[in-house]
Structure 1
Amino acid sequence: MLRRTRTPHAFGAATAAAVVLALAAPPALALPADASPDPVPALVAGQDTAAPQLVTGLSEPAAGAPADAARAHLAAHPDRYRVDPGELVEAGSERDADGRRTVRFEQRHGGIPVFGAQYLVHLTGEGAAQRVESVGGKYFTGLSAPTTATVPDAALRELALGAVQDARARAGATAEDRGAVVLPGGAGRLARHFTVRTTDPASGDRAAREVYVDAVAGVVALAYDARTPSPAGASPTGDAAPSPGGDPQPATGTTPDVHGNAVKVNAVRLPDGGYRLTDLTRHSVITTYDAAGRDADDFVGPLPADAVPVASPGPDFPAATGTSGATDAHLGAGTVYDFYRDRLGRDGLDGKGGPIVSVVNVTSGGKPYANAYWDGTKMVYGSGGGAYFPFSAALDVTGHEMTHGVVAHTANLTYLGQSGAMDEALADYFGNAIEVTARGLSMNDPKAALLGEDKCRTGTPQACADRHLDDHRTTVADYLGATGALDNGGVHLNSPVFAGALWDIRRTLDPLTADRVVYRALADYLTPLDDFVDGRDAVLAAGRSLGLSRAQLRTVAAAFDAHGIKAGWQHRIGTDSRTLLPDVSGSMSLPAAADGHWVAMGPISGRTDRNALYTGPTTGRTAPVRLSPDDGRYHSYAATDGAGAVWIAVGTDARGWGQEVLTAPLTGAGPVRSLFHSATQQPGGVQVSGRDVAFLVRDAGRTGVRLSRDGAPAVEIPLPEGHSASDLTLRDGLLGWTESWHEGEQQVTAPTVYSIAAGRVTAQYTAHSGAGARPSEAYGTRLAGGRLLWVDIPLGDAGAHGSIRSGALDGSGTSEVLSGDTPNAPTRGSLITASDQAVTYRVVPHSLLGPAPAGGWTNAALPKLWQVPLAGGAPQRVSCDRGDQDQPAADQGTRVVWLDATGGGPDLVVRDRPAVTC
């Protein structure tokens, strides 16, 4: 997609999680002596595997058919590659104009596909002269995950649907079962892949999300927005109406373009004398449809049964063919096809001359749609409207969207994080290269590096362009660390960094040479899970295979260096926080802190188990200690009082699948004790304070409070009929929670204090909903500094700011810690945590879903942490780190730990005091 404007639903459970981990050194490899001055790495180590990522500089005989020769080569060198050829299934091969072949294998574990795992063998020559030139990709050694699910199919589907947070959207959601898959990383995780589709009950917009549910533990292990909304296997041609009376014949028509200029188009003449926008002059049949203002969602998947190509009673097409954008889409599709065929030797988007279909003039929710996208089978162009022409008016936009189709049929980059950003970057590069080539522009033309500059009716090209490929962005200065909740981990935010490097290569090398190098990297070297550094290595390897001189290769390397794309770039980004635990991935990794210690789920350097619970000092001076047992379950959602920890284990053990509340001392020496286990009731919100452990249990739509003292079985604290609790907090013999119930149609929320010793509620403060007051709700209840704290925020205003309020523990009254009118006050859903000295909260300056902010996504638009003294005062930034800041946990004084995505993590980090100014 060119840029994101439609608003998908928010999904819960897991956000985007990294699926590859620690570096493992592969075996040594003897290479030609003259390889050392070459900037192309001869051997690149893989991540979380003993198999190398890339081996170049080879010239070894390989007899037989390409796939057989490739497999035999891998089998003949087990110590070099550490690959089991029996786990590889051929996924296809690419043959370039020079006759060179790339055989692409997919890894299987016990016959089940391994997510993103592809290994490639590159061969040159024919017959007896055939040789292996290079090998590489992602192959994961050490996988031992089970291949049989223990969670029932129906439960897996319900868990996938449960990832939809909005209850109204969840009621109409569907989950398409895409089959079993093994998520790599350590021993791997058996998962079931679902594409969950929802419809927004307010706007009617549809959204799709790829959800991977652990089939043994019964939790969502990975989830991210689908790049395209089309169902798997959907055909672009659908049930389009047949041509009446016989076969159509190639013909030429005349039609206005979007600016009213008459142009010639390739069309077909029907037996009845009518004409349609179908181009039969190329191997790929190119057809263009006019949605006539229908909603884009009507064209998800196969074309509607009543859809027919743009038609005219004679060879002169009507003016609407131009104003709808159909003419430009039709001509643009042909230009893009010719670029890939004539310049790069590729036959269509799929490489096999498959059909190319465009749909123009779609709307969204009854309003003009200012966007365009590749939906997995076809191009879909918005109607524009207002300040915009139809988006097909911009040839670089057409090239961009069609290139997504090429990516899908080659490297199939996962639309997540850096791999997704490279998908967007390649689409930007080729979109602009196609336009520059077709129009004969110089690479020094000011418009050459602008993407989408022709889609605006008014304004300058520079102001209209969506991206500028010559804006010199670098990883160190401009990379925006984003979690999966924002732009799928930054696929649009960070694509200009990689696209800029590619564009600099095109500016410094001959453009045709650059296009061939970048295309070969895409078709022959990149694999689905590659990151920016892998992309650099792929482009250099492609350049070597095309015979670039060492001087030219050094030029390519220099372009990547200039944009900061080189090994270890994440560690060069300046931060003002200290890292406690790197690469803590997944939304289940929620940290806790107290009395100088932290607890969180995540991997430890050199270990492969990323689903265990660890603890360490918030000073970071000693190594982390593992708390949870090694039983294959997920251990997370923890709390600590600085001496002990309590957490939830989710998964299958000897009792079958269930969720269990466990507790243990922070020494890691045990014992680990069980306080609760259930296959049907859902525990959450665990808290610990000395000998007391409390947690919430959701059962039959109601959430109650349970309390365990001195390790005894937990007992329920009764709540009034129809009341539920959330935001549980525990401190020094007192419990706090946000109690909610309905009074007629109105929901009431009330921060509540409960004395364990007295066995009764000692304070309850209802949110402001009395006469004359604006209706509001309370959430985020916390006990700290001898007070009860919460956020009070107006109802019904998505952009409202809330106040932080403080109440006496005996119910004698409240005060205001921070007014909602204060700049940088909490926003709706802001996370809140507190010590005895300060309150820390997360502010989301701009919605993480929907349109980008007016000035584009910048550091200032990402979620940040703020802190205010418990006694009140002006809020201060906790940290000036550039990335998304999430899940704060207060320690002692002003010290806070949180998940920070600045370096592409997120990493668990800490800071002792506010940064004051940034």
Structure 2
Amino acid sequence: MPRLPSTAGTFAVGAAAVVMLALAVPPALALPAAGAPAPDADPVPALVDGTGTAAPQLVTGLSEPAPGDPAGAALAHLAAHPDRYRIDTGELAALGSTTGPDGRRTVRFEQRHGGIPVLGGQYLVHLSGQGAGQKVESAGGRYFTGLSAPTTPAVPAEALRRAAVAELPDPPARAGATAEDHGPVILPDGPGRLTEHYTVRGTAGGTAREVYVDATTGAVALAHDARAPRPAADPAPATPAPATPAPADPGTGLQPATGTAPDAHGRSAAVNIAKRADGTYQLTDLTRPATVTTYDAAGRDTGDFDGVPVPADAAPASSPAPAFPAATGDDGATDAHVNAGLVLDFYRDRLGRNGLDGQGGAIVSVVNVSDGGKPFPNAFWDGSKMVYGSGGQNFYPFSVALDVAGHEMTHGVVQHTAKLLYLNQSGAMDEAIADYFGNAIEVTARGLAMDDPAAALLGESLCRTGTPQACATRRLDDHRTTTADFLGTRYSIDSGGVHLNSTIFGGALWDIRRTLDPLTADRVVYHALADYLTPLDDFQAGRDAVLAAGRDQGLDKRQLRALAAAFDAHGIRPGWQRRLGTDSRILLQNVSNGMATPAVARGHWVILGDGAAGTGLYTGTVDGHGTPVRLSPEDGRIHSWAATDGTNAVWVAMGGPPGTGQEVLTAPLSGAGPVRSVFRSTSPAQQLGNARISGTDIAFTVSENGHSRPYLSRDGAAPVALPLPEGHDVSELALKDGLVAWTETWQDGDQWVTVPTVYSVAAGKVTARYPAHAPAGSGPSSAGSLTLAGGRLLWVDLPVDRTVRSTIRSAAPDGSGVVDLVGAGSPNAPRSTTLAASDQAVTYRVEGDKPAGGWTNAALPKLWQVPLAGGTPQRLSCNRGGQYEAAADQGTRVVWLDATVGRTDLVVRDRPAGTC
């Protein structure tokens, strides 16, 4: 959601973009930002300015005394330098401290506004030495200045929960869905937003969603996938170190033992197991600081184990004797058990980490889960345990792959360190770091050289047939860069590209491992993760973190230059987004809320946004001059779905306290006039929508009990229902120059009919109902996305068979002169209902299905434009990323939401680009 005015510094977090206040850093601290180093320069800057906040992101090169306990000393240091850090230390709460192998300590603080955690608000202080000799070496993170959000919710808890559940994309999954309440969280957009954080899981399976609901309005402020399963790769099974004697577990009566078990390939492996009191055995390893237990789901559905404790009736893989049966290997239990131990050993022996949580917490793996009784060819970390699919006919059990285990278990390490938000660039770094350590663990265990062709592959041996290269799902040596390969997608596709863009950052990390000694590289990357990164960091912050970690690890200037060169080679350098070559002008940055759909007319736009006064409708001009004006009142309701004629705007308000109801409101774009109520409904059964305005005419729809009809208000008079035959319903609505058009639907025998309809205000009657057309061979069709422009009615004919492209039609408002502007046979015909038109041109979106080889920028939705009088369609913009929600202004000018640069911006272009 945009922060207004557009000059403020911003960064995106998905369904609602988070925006920070643009406050100046004192000149004394304005040192050079991170970038490519000079030949003999240290590439780590003394200070990296915070983006849109007074608090710096990173301060290095310090050596300032800080005696005392680490947390107290770190807090005192920050408080002693208010002009440097601009931090209110009263808002900081210590999350804990860690000590590295070299004795350095990192204290991680969480920002809390009014006692409520701030999403992504974390600041870290790094100390060396002990006692009186303890010193601060560096500090940084994200601290959000200027927060003034309320701390008391205005919406009842049950209403917040319902809104969270409604965010599930699949309606059948909402029935009986669970919503785990994590408590209030402040989203740091401008003055901040008080939200309630839920993890929502549907009964029909699918991806869990993290949902933040605005506790003031009841609107969903931010939503993203909780996790997304992703495969990695496979090593030859390794034999664990011999078990060391250990006492029986007093809580379970288990005693450590050793045994053998076949792996998924039928090869016998030595395993650390536990002997039960009844003399039988189970796959529990008691020899490591972190207890490792492996459960066999016996084909049960993933939903029985995803994000919930292991069910009481599920049991660890077991055997009557120390030699486990063949089923233990067939189900993937042996490989999961062995690989979990190898991952733990890697983190302990190379990086000094005690388990995934750093505290020796138990490790649980569940194998042999299914997807509704069918094979589940995947694996995931659910927040507390590993869950592996059985694979099926084409894949081995996914626990077979050590880099699968390493990748997914590293998500657990990220969760207990930087907590990178699983969205956009921070989510892509989460995946990249999991890729890096998954492959590093496999390469180390197998003794592979870094230049081995298999070293950079993920998932290369999960397939039962096929070459490693064909089986691999990702490779870290794909040489992708930001400027050439960054996929600009909205949060609705891959959570903003968390997998699609991961190898850009992961490739830089892998290049570092191929350039430096691998152990040194592993320690640098781990140190950056555990001691520098914070939840909302982007690629550039990741680069800065790795460079700072490299200096902490004692790398010389040649090695530090190698770190910087690796990021340079992948295009991760300051200002890389400006190098993507967009041909549009930005009006607002970070417009990612699903309700933020733009409207435009006569050079003025309207959109849902976040300003200093909070969430509401704002208007501005397409020339970018002046300060945006807030239109909607500050009444705690959701104000969205606006339309404008260039002089006034109309919209629907909903939510707020019980009994408030819904309301159609209108106001002049100048912001000088009052907000006027057009129609108000307090009936819970009614739903208002499709508000449209043209001069003194305002139209909208009222839906109740499954039926919907149009209403019209003229010259400020009370709205009246327009005539509609019995049994007919209305969906979409258009209004212009005394004409009202809608999409009308009714049942004719066993068939449903959907057609465009035109009503003349002057004549007081329907003047045309256009017959539904069906392109040859496409089967039945229906109408959608209708609009009025240039004295014509335009709509899209939608085939029932959605593999067939749609047709854009134009007709006179009296029902005559129906022509096809873009036929279904055209290679540039749309596959969507998105249509916008001015008196000169029609703009539409062309999109296709996900390509077999995966998403590319070329496959993401693109906007095309065709003259209203007919002609050859042209690309509106050559921006390479996804283009969404077009709104047509005068002539050929169009505003839309563009995701090219890794966030969703409101942009404008005055004329089509032509051929790209």
Normalising by structure 1, we get a TM-score of 0.90
| Residue from 683, 688, 705 that aligns with 1:683 | 688
1:266 aligns with 2:272: yes
Identity %: 66
* Letter aligned with residue 782 of structure 2: E
Bigger mean CA offset, 895-904 vs 629-638: 629-638
- Please give the alpha-carbon distance, in whole angstroms, between the structure 1 residues aligned to 2:153 and 2:807: 47
1:232 counterpart residue number: none
- Please give the alpha-carbon distance, in whole angstroms, between the structure 2 residues aligned to 1:845 and 1:191: 35
Please list, as runs of the form range in 1=range in 2, the aligned pairs for 1:5-20 lying within 5 A after superposition.
16-20=15-19
Maintained 8 Å contact 1:31/1:57 = no
- Please give the alpha-carbon distance, in whole angstroms, between the structure 2 residues aligned to 1:478 and 1:695: 44
1:299 aligns with 2:302: no
Maintained 8 Å contact 1:29/1:43 = no
Distance 1:659 1:67, change over 3 A: farther
- Please give the alpha-carbon distance, in whole angstroms, between the structure 1 residues aligned to 2:354 and 2:768: 73
Distance 1:771 1:872, change over 3 A: closer
SS at match of 1:199: coil
Please list, as runs of the form range in 1=range in 2, the aligned pairs for 1:507-906 lying within 5 A after superposition.
507-602=514-609, 608=612, 611-618=615-622, 620=623, 622-623=625-626, 625-628=628-631, 631=634, 635-649=639-653, 659-678=662-681, 682-742=687-747, 746-765=751-770, 767=772, 774-795=779-800, 797-812=801-816, 814-827=818-831, 829-846=832-849, 853-906=851-904
Distance 1:625 1:352, change over 3 A: closer
1:256 aligns with 2:262: yes
2:236 counterpart residue number: none
- Please give the alpha-carbon distance, in whole angstroms, between the structure 2 residues aligned to 1:587 and 1:467: 30
* Letter aligned with residue 189 of structure 2: G
2:439 counterpart residue number: 432
Q: 1:100, CA displacement in angstroms? A: 1.6
1:94-148: CA deviations, max 9, x gaps? 2211222211111111121112211112121111111112111111111111111
- Please give the alpha-carbon distance, in whole angstroms, between the structure 1 residues aligned to 2:184 and 2:503: 34
- Please give the alpha-carbon distance, in whole angstroms, between the structure 2 residues aligned to 1:245 and 1:870: 77
Maintained 8 Å contact 1:628/1:635 = no
Please list, as runs of the form range in 1=range in 2, the aligned pairs for 1:387-398 lying within 5 A after superposition.
387-398=394-405
- Please give the alpha-carbon distance, in whole angstroms, between the structure 2 residues aligned to 1:159 and 1:419: 26
Distance 1:47 1:157, change over 3 A: same
* Letter aligned with residue 639 of structure 1: A
Q: 1:517, CA displacement in angstroms? A: 0.8
Distance 1:423 1:291, change over 3 A: same
Maintained 8 Å contact 1:790/1:804 = yes
Q: 1:166, CA displacement in angstroms? A: 4.6
Maintained 8 Å contact 1:741/1:747 = yes
Normalising by structure 2, we get a TM-score of 0.90
Maintained 8 Å contact 1:218/1:650 = no
Distance 1:813 1:682, change over 3 A: same
Q: 1:900, CA displacement in angstroms? A: 0.5
2:222 counterpart residue number: 222
1:122-179: CA deviations, max 9, x gaps? 1211111111121111111111111111122222223223334554333333333222
Q: 1:612, CA displacement in angstroms? A: 4.5
Maintained 8 Å contact 2:858/2:881 = no
Q: 1:583, CA displacement in angstroms? A: 2.8
1:90 aligns with 2:94: yes
Q: 1:630, CA displacement in angstroms? A: 6.8
Maintained 8 Å contact 1:15/1:587 = no
1:609-630: CA deviations, max 9, x gaps? 6734444444x36345425257
* Letter aligned with residue 344 of structure 2: Y
Number of aligned residue pairs: give it: 876
| Residue from 376, 379, 401 that aligns with 1:369 | 376
Please list, as runs of the form range in 1=range in 2, the aligned pairs for 1:199-598 lying within 5 A after superposition.
199-200=203-204, 205-227=205-227, 247-300=253-306, 301-598=308-605
- Please give the alpha-carbon distance, in whole angstroms, between the structure 2 residues aligned to 1:243 and 1:762: 83
- Please give the alpha-carbon distance, in whole angstroms, between the structure 1 residues aligned to 2:99 and 2:679: 59
Maintained 8 Å contact 2:168/2:209 = no
Maintained 8 Å contact 1:258/1:325 = yes
Q: 1:402, CA displacement in angstroms? A: 0.6
- Please give the alpha-carbon distance, in whole angstroms, between the structure 2 residues aligned to 1:742 and 1:65: 76
Q: 1:700, CA displacement in angstroms? A: 4.7
Maintained 8 Å contact 1:28/1:80 = no
- Please give the alpha-carbon distance, in whole angstroms, between the structure 2 residues aligned to 1:361 and 1:570: 43
1:26 aligns with 2:25: yes
* Letter aligned with residue 17 of structure 2: A
Q: 1:275, CA displacement in angstroms? A: 2.3
| Residue from 170, 194, 210 that aligns with 2:174 | 170
Q: 1:467, CA displacement in angstroms? A: 1.0
Maintained 8 Å contact 1:210/1:223 = yes
Q: 1:807, CA displacement in angstroms? A: 3.7
Q: 1:837, CA displacement in angstroms? A: 3.3
* Letter aligned with residue 135 of structure 1: A
Distance 1:165 1:296, change over 3 A: closer
Maintained 8 Å contact 1:53/1:138 = yes
- Please give the alpha-carbon distance, in whole angstroms, between the structure 2 residues aligned to 1:771 and 1:905: 40
1:239-262: CA deviations, max 9, x gaps? xxx999972322222222222222
1:360-383: CA deviations, max 9, x gaps? 222212222111111111111111
Q: 1:826, CA displacement in angstroms? A: 2.3
2:108 counterpart residue number: 104
Maintained 8 Å contact 2:175/2:203 = no
SS at match of 1:179: strand
Maintained 8 Å contact 1:151/1:657 = no
Maintained 8 Å contact 2:294/2:337 = yes
Maintained 8 Å contact 2:708/2:731 = yes
Calculate the aligned-residue CA RMSD, in Å: 2.9
- Please give the alpha-carbon distance, in whole angstroms, between the structure 1 residues aligned to 2:67 and 2:661: 54
* Letter aligned with residue 353 of structure 2: R
Q: 1:28, CA displacement in angstroms? A: 5.0
Q: 1:68, CA displacement in angstroms? A: 1.5
Q: 1:662, CA displacement in angstroms? A: 3.6
- Please give the alpha-carbon distance, in whole angstroms, between the structure 2 residues aligned to 1:246 and 1:124: 42
Q: 1:82, CA displacement in angstroms? A: 1.8
Q: 1:711, CA displacement in angstroms? A: 3.3
SS at match of 2:586: strand
SS at match of 2:419: coil
Bigger mean CA offset, 544-553 vs 389-398: 544-553
* Letter aligned with residue 17 of structure 1: A
Distance 1:438 1:395, change over 3 A: same
- Please give the alpha-carbon distance, in whole angstroms, between the structure 2 residues aligned to 1:432 and 1:691: 65
Maintained 8 Å contact 1:60/1:132 = yes
- Please give the alpha-carbon distance, in whole angstroms, between the structure 2 residues aligned to 1:772 and 1:500: 48
Distance 1:127 1:746, change over 3 A: farther
* Letter aligned with residue 25 of structure 1: A
- Please give the alpha-carbon distance, in whole angstroms, between the structure 1 residues aligned to 2:475 and 2:423: 22
Return 5+ residue gaps in structure 1 as ranges: 1-13, 230-241, 848-852
1:519-570: CA deviations, max 9, x gaps? 0111111111111111111111111222222332222112111111122211
Maintained 8 Å contact 1:588/1:601 = yes
Distance 1:571 1:92, change over 3 A: same
Q: 1:661, CA displacement in angstroms? A: 3.5
* Letter aligned with residue 319 of structure 1: A
1:43-82: CA deviations, max 9, x gaps? 2222332222111112222222211112222222222222
Q: 1:722, CA displacement in angstroms? A: 4.6
